[in-house]
Chain A
Amino acid sequence: MQLILEKRAQASGLMNLCSPMLAILLTVVMGGLIFAAMGKPPLTALYIYFIDPLTSWWSIEEVLVKAGPLVLIGVGLAVCFKANVWNIGAEGQFTAGALMGAIIPVLWGEWQSPFALVAMLFLGALGGALFAFIPAWLKTRFGVNEILTSLMLVYIAQLLLDWMVRGPWNDPHGYNFPKSASFEGWHLLPMWGDGRMHLGLVVSLVAALVLFWVMRHTLKGFEINVVGSAPRAGAFAGFSQTKMVWFCFALSGGLAGLAGLIEVAGPVGQLQPHISPNYGFTAIIVAFLGRLNPLGVIFAGLLLAISYIGGEGVQIELGISDKTTQVFQGMLLFFILMCDTLILYRLKWISTNPGQQTTGNAS
């Protein structure tokens, strides 16, 4: 007997929905095994990791605050991936957006008006989009693989931020700590709740709903779908592959940049060397877990947000390294890509015995 993958006649709609569930289940089981191997009680650890973050209001708030950027970046990436454009550098565009938007609080600190905030949001999105145009240009002009270029540009953006907060934009009253001056007044997003919930959450939700409508009902969504899944049919429909690359990088880069600006004008409140716990990379998992569907991305964003808070939880209560979060996120992406194979293929046992009269190896 031998286990083989057999191609299905057509993609399984059921598996498309079950695949993320199965991946989550496998992640939880593997996570339990890893906790046990580390000598921690697995059930308690899993409880702290996945359930505890939902048992108190402040931690639910924290989950929402973390889900905000994940969803905002994730919906952009979902559209991008649907079009078969692989922007892996959202983390860099996030950073570029934060830097560009911070021009106003850092250089025009005295401009205090609601328009200043609007200008910051605009500049944030613009910064992310412009930074994303670098891989878009390299791909459309020279055919350079966008996965590599967008990924490598992440480190450039991060080092640029690092240099800016230590050098030109260093807070003159900051005792030489690597940070900019704190943002104040209209340079911060309106907040509510216990002080961490902010306007950015609404922006994320609106972006997801708008993109859901675009993808489901408009010609643009149709174009994205066709160009991504059948490029020759896309050409037949008169859709340009090149324009699609620019559009995708503009959209996903813009949303990542906006998320970056929202993060520094919201929960962080200033520029500093580290402004993101890898939101831009985690959003890749969010996009896939959400089935590249903007509504699915909302739920996936919440789940991945829990993984951040849960990671902090097990660190505090059981003394496990906070790298656990990355292990869980990595396992989740790994398992979901693995389970996605089952959408197009089914597992089948076949007999390896080719028959009684025949000789030879028929494997």
Chain B
Amino acid sequence: MLNNSNNNAQSTLLQVKAITKKFGDFYANDTLNLSIETGRVHALLGENGAGKSTLVKMMYGALQPTSGSIHWQGQQVSIASPAHARELGIGMVFQHFSLFEALTVVENISLALPPQLRQGDLSQRIADLSLDYGLPLNPAALVADLSVGERQRIEIVRCLLQQPKLLIMDEPTAVLTPQEAQALFSTLRRLVEEGCAVLYISHRLEEVKQICQDATILRHGKLVAEVDPQVETAATLAQLMVGASVHQVSRDSNDQVGDVLLDISNLSQKSSTPFGVDLVDVNLQVKSGEILAIAGIAGNGQGELFGVVSGEECNPNQSSISLLGQVSNALNINQRRCLGAAFVPEERMGHGAVEHLSLTDNILLSRHACNDTQSPLNRGWLGIDKRQLAKLNQAIGIDYDVRKSKEDATAGSLSGGNLQKFVVGRELNRKPKVLVINQPTWGVDAGAAALIRQAVIDLSRQGSAILIISQDLDEIFELADAIAVMSRGQLSPTYAAGDLTREQIGLMMAGSHEQSSQELGA
């Protein structure tokens, strides 16, 4: 299948020499060296903002280095564009897919292929190749009907059709169930046996230990270590990434569980958009002092559930949601906040915060309606109380260790982890009785994640009810007292956290708890 399938001897495929990329005065990459061998899976590790994406984008021709050179099979090259990179034999699977939901698999793949590869029976070739590599795909299926795992297969098959010598994968398992991830690993092992090289970017250290032979670790744009992941432990790898040992989240057993503060019963809701997910008969209860986590792969109705629980989408015709004992379906998001609830959406930028606004303005975003500050923030015609906002901003900055270039920086200038600390801190500062938080530490560095998780636990131990929606099983096991799993808009029964294994959760993520449509109709 691949050009170099007979070439199992190791040789250096791609070498990066003293590469530097500057954005203004900021060094995203500072004289990095990296060498990728054929037939091996090479891990690229680092926290968010460590410079992994920048480095990979230069290899893929999407960015041009400020200085330094890239050598491909021993020859110096300058990779002018992604098209050029693909011509050389470099393929990349991005974290965020670029697929048209309304088109079929074969149409999507055809769009991205160079003309000479589009000829012949593309559907047949896709079907053959995907089966061959254990990535079964129906070429005629509509992308909108496919799961995230299947969508990722499209991206991988699209790369494989071009017979790459180097495959770059950016956090490929972030969207997969444990079982799907294992299937992906077998595909990668197969590719490597055929002589292909894989550059594997991930946060998940256990995975890296499982499939990678080499590892390069970046921190603040600099290379800190090149190690053999087989001899390191996850803890030592984490320490290298963060530069210090990561604060362990501590959680004492909770025995002061109290009244039900968030109660959802028989909640069904049709999606308001054509590609959204319908919620089907969702039931859950969160008690005071308890953390309930909803596991599941993104795009299975978690966003819709958040919208309905927060009141961004309110449905006055039902009485399925009660907050602190009060039926709340007809209340809008601000009325629910005033009852004592707080919400943190999945997307920091554009949903939880506005990029071009200052931090104080972003505090106002969720704090303008309920007078839970010393005096009202909104003084009508007299204008917003900006002095009080500045005080709040200062307090949140100190309490939640928000690092920023200046006191009232714009939200867009903060790194992902610091912005998440800010967005969470803005809500925790109110001491909410009910907190609903979607993907609390998604794409956040280990230090920030530990701080956020500890703050959430502390809040629950003060008697708040907390609902977490997450696709990170490590996080769920670290935080949750109880776990339920969501798939295709259906929520499993709630289990005590100690009663579930990863494998059981994985099966439920894949839908083992779902009721068939006949059962639902009955």
Contacts and interface: CB of A to CB of B under 8 A. Distances in A.
Interface in B43-61: 61
Interface in B350-373: 350-357, 361, 364-366, 368-369
Nearest to A359: B87
A316 interface: no
Interface string B61-105: 100100000000001111111011001100000000000000000
Contacts of A359: 87
A232 B303 CA distance: 12
A233 B333 CA distance: 12
A1 to B, nearest CB: 13
A357 B71 CA distance: 11
Nearest to A355: B78
Nearest to A223: B368
Contacts of B23: 9
A152 B346 CA distance: 41
A232 B365 CA distance: 11
Interface stretch (A42-50, A212-220, A287-295): A212-220
Contact of A354 (B76, B80, B384): B80
Contacts of B332: 238
Interface string A223-237: 001100110110111
B345 interface: yes
A237 B87 CA distance: 47
Interface size for chain A: under 10, 10 to 19, 20 to 34, or 35 or more residues?
20 to 34
B355 A230 contact: yes
A362 interface: yes
B352 A236 contact: yes
Contacts of A352: 80
B120 interface: no
A357 B352 contact: no
A56 interface: no
Interface string B407-440: 0001011000000000000000000000000000
B334 interface: yes
B356 A236 contact: no
B384 A218 contact: yes
Interface in A19-70: none
Contacts of A10: 356, 410, 412-413
A218 B366 CA distance: 15
Contact of B84 (A11, A218, A362): A362
Most chain B Cβ neighbours within 10 Å, of A225, A235, A236: A236
Given A9-B24, A219-B368, A233-B350, A358 B84 contact: yes
Interface in A293-309: none
Given A232-B350, A233-B353, A222 B80 contact: no
B77 A358 contact: yes
B312 A218 contact: no
A233 B383 contact: no
A355 B81 CA distance: 12
Contacts of B88: 358
Interface string A4-19: 0000011100000000
A10 B343 CA distance: 28
B357 A362 contact: no
Contacts of A193: none
Given A230-B355, A237-B366, A357 B24 contact: no
Given A230-B354, A233-B350, A236-B312, A218 B381 contact: yes
A354 B80 CA distance: 5
A164 B87 CA distance: 70
B83 A222 contact: no
B76 A218 contact: no
A142 B237 CA distance: 56
A360 interface: yes
Interface in A330-363: 350, 352, 354-360, 362-363
B347 interface: yes
A226 B413 CA distance: 18
Given A9-B24, A219-B384, A235-B312, A226 B354 contact: yes
A11 B412 CA distance: 11
Nearest to A9: B23
Nearest to A351: B80
A354 to B, nearest CB: 4
Given A9-B23, A218-B380, A362-B84, A236 B76 contact: no
Contact of A226 (B80, B81, B365): B365
Interface of A: 9-11, 213, 216-219, 222, 225-226, 229-230, 232-233, 235-238, 350, 352, 354-360, 362-363
Given A236-B343, A238-B333, 15 more contacts: A9-B23, A218-B381, A219-B384, A222-B364, A222-B368, A233-B353, A235-B333, A236-B345, A236-B351, A354-B78, A354-B79, A354-B80, A355-B79, A362-B80, A362-B84
